[in-house]
Structure 1
């Protein structure tokens, strides 16, 4: 904000303080002040900068990105590594001075990867003038900005889930797996889009926590992790559904007594998708 704008803003607040004790008068004055501040913000954020921001946002909304790893080194800093739709990797830092390792961010101070983290992971309102000003003009976040951004991480970022069982023997695995229920608002822990999307298949960590994710996202996760692939939720070593099916069939083929009703439910979980198809 320019020095002239600050002086005008200060003058408005002084005038509000000098008003009569009438609450209606003060409320009306505060409303006018808020409208004035919004108009100042719009004037500061040039049309060119808005176009750059909206262009990056548009690219983010039509592309797929995958969160590969993340951490909070401190309470006011978030770091993550994401994989793009063409399998490029970018490191993003959200803090007082944020960054992305891509060339576009270094040029424009904003990029689709950076906005993916803000929008998909932290569910930030990217139409907020304060957020846009912090990114495009001030080039840094304040304490208030970071508090607002990080307040959504508890819901969006998946915490480590305890396994449903101890992985001792394959016999125990077969008799203990199940899929946890999926809500409409649940998101994939890798791409952060809704789990229930038409034509998107799911895979489930049947041997441990029972949570699900998009099959295509899990393929990207496995491509990145290699032999060290684990469940994004419970961190147990990942076992492909095909291996799970083979274990189930081998187990029941060798068993002498018939399948019990409870075990039929487990088999149904293994071979049935989340929508029942």
Structure 2
């Protein structure tokens, strides 16, 4: 006879009944609640760890030529600053420093980083060099640039009151061309006698007043300018409007008009190859 299989013994009282194996339910895992972390801002153009070789020629032109700031308007909520600038050909261009700095000059409209943008970034806003050669800026970088930049002049509708009318020392930058004032230089310097006492190059002030095409005020504090009557009449001459639609003040600045386009100041190699090399 075959041996009998052992039967399950009866559980004695007090013994723990073994738990029945449970079948695991493989359902959808419950998603973990993640904190609402702010998304990292993405730069709108590729980050440049170093300036490209082609950058230096344009930067050199921006640093060696004189430009004239006609107006500055900053909006910290965006953030951005719009600058009207008289270029080396006498045309007045509009430069906007924002997430993607731009200019309406012919060279920039072709997709290039122009000297006007570099001039505003470096001379006017005193931006760090590593920010100057970028094609796009982050919001934190813009706030940093504007926080450290010279404050734009007062709005024309609200001139300063109760300011010290004494002349300030001839030092620092001219508030129009943003190049250094030099008391020992032969270049004439005028100052605001009506209110703030700010100094500026005489040639810069005359150009600025002509382009404004309205009552002559101090470029810095916007108070009515105190000057002899003959000079005041002279500086109210208007600039000409070119066929391209730019206001041109070349006559007032003594700039030669042989150059018919702003891109003519770039070398033949530059104008023909800059865009092809991908440094837009």
Q: What's the CA shift for 1:183? A: 5.6
1:79-228 map, 5 Å? 79-126=82-129, 128=130, 131-132=132-133, 134-135=134-135, 140-153=136-149, 155=150, 157-159=152-154, 162-164=160-162, 179-182=166-169, 184=171, 186-196=172-182, 198-228=185-215
Contact 1:96–1:141, Cα closer than 8 Å, also in 2: yes
- Name the SS of the counterpart of 2:53 in structure 1: helix
- Give me the whole-angstrom Cα distance separating, in 2, the residues matched to 1:209 and 1:156: 15
- Give me the whole-angstrom Cα distance separating, in 2, the residues matched to 1:229 and 1:164: 20
Would you say how many aligned residue pairs link Structure 1 and Structure 2?
A: 180
- Name the SS of the counterpart of 1:144 in structure 2: helix
TM-score (norm 1): 0.57
- Give me the whole-angstrom Cα distance separating, in 2, the residues matched to 1:143 and 1:162: 31
Runs of 5+ in structure 1 lacking a partner? Answer: 1-40, 166-176, 245-277
| Larger helix proportion of the pair | 1
CA RMSD of aligned residues (A): 2.8
Q: What's the CA shift for 1:232? A: 0.9
**Corresponding position of 2:59:** 57
- Name the SS of the counterpart of 2:145 in structure 1: helix
Higher RCO (Cα < 8 Å, 6 or more apart): 2
> Which has the higher Rg, Structure 1 or Structure 2?
2
TM-score (norm 2): 0.56
Runs of 4+ in 1 over 6 A off after TM superposition: none
- Give me the whole-angstrom Cα distance separating, in 2, the residues matched to 1:85 and 1:194: 18
Q: What's the CA shift for 1:240? A: 2.3
Contact 1:71–1:80, Cα closer than 8 Å, also in 2: yes
Q: What's the CA shift for 1:237? A: 2.0
Q: What's the CA shift for 1:158? A: 4.2
